[in-house]
Structure 1
Amino acid sequence: MERTGFEPELGGQWRQKAVYVDEAVCIGCKHCAHVARNTFYIEPDYGRSRVVNQDGDPEYLIQEAIDTCPVDCIHWVNYRDLHRLETARSHQQLVPVGFPGAAQRRAV
């Protein structure tokens, strides 16, 4: 069955957009995870932001995280485009940023 964007995990019938982090651009500043802590987290392997729950915080908090991102790597996208973007991201080669020692943890 094709997804419509009206699924409950996107806020029911009112929210047709999803939030997406372009991890290749993210610098690991952690600001978004502090502002909208139920939506974003800093993944431990590369120290970059990732969306953990599309409906984790009110839209105004997510928008604040987007507006204050210093490298503009967080975007609202159409829910139908989210899967394509996440699939493309899975093939990216990332260098650890953010957390000191992240590269050493990966080498172990």
Structure 2
Amino acid sequence: MADESEMTTGRSSGLEPELGGALRSASGRSGLEPELGGQFRQEGVYVDELVCIGCTHCAHVARNTFYIEPDYGRARVVRQNGDSEALIQEAIDTCPVDCIHKVDYTELRELERDRVNQVIPVVGFPVDKAVISAQRRRRQSMMKARKNQG
């Protein structure tokens, strides 16, 4: 229902939510923007888990955005809009190995898709042994799948 001031004056207050009218005709629209709300972030945050050393600085600074993944001891983004831009930038600045990056949302989608297949070694575990143990687990799961099929 329209606001009472809008009905009497015929003008909007400017505080009504945008329902996509102005955004729909924008030339740079990617289709990933939310339709309601205030200012939107143009970039997402991504942690390169292979570079991360598990120092936990980012998770202590921006607690609603980053957390330490329990299996590998590496930082991971849990929620893109968890903290303010300033707090996220502070978390990025505290990273000693610069493994946190701001990326475009379309690139973020690709990076997250690629991350699923990464072999991430446990912090302090040599990479070559991690690769060997991951291959062993993969072979074991394939053998179990074959037994279940046949």
TM surpasses 0.5: yes
Q: Residues 18-73 of structure 1: CA distance to partner in whole angstroms, max 9, x if unpaired?
A: 00000010000000000000000001000000000100000100001111200000
Residue 7 of structure 1 is matched in structure 2 by: 34
Q: Which amino acid aligns with 1:31?
A: H
Letter in 1 for 2:108: L
Counterpart check, 1:60 vs 2:86: yes
Structure 1 segments of 4+ aligned residues over 6 angstroms from their partners: none
Letter in 2 for 1:54: Q
Pick the structure with greater CA Rg: 2
Give the TM-score normalised by structure 1: 0.80
Q: Tell me the equivalent position of 2:110.
A: 84
**3-state secondary structure, aligned to 1:14:** coil
In structure 1, runs of 5+ residues without a counterpart are 104-108
Cα distance between partner residues in 2 of 1:73 and 1:21: 6
Give the aligned CA root-mean-square deviation in angstroms: 2.4
Per chain length, whose mean CA-contact separation is higher, i.e. which structure has more relative contact order (CA < 8 Å, sep 6+)?
A: 1
Structure 1 residues 93 and 12, CA gap change in structure 2 (3 angstroms): farther
Unaligned stretches of 5+ residues in structure 2: 1-28, 125-129, 131-150
Please give the TM-score of this superposition, normalised by the length of structure 2: 0.58
Residue 49 of structure 1 is matched in structure 2 by 75
Asked if residue 24 in structure 1 is aligned to residue 53 in structure 2, the reply is: no
1:37 alignment partner in structure 2: 63
TM-superposed CA distance for 1:5, in Å, is 4.2
Q: Which range moved further: 89-98 or 20-29?
A: 89-98
Q: 1:46 to 1:83 in 2, by over 3 A?
A: same
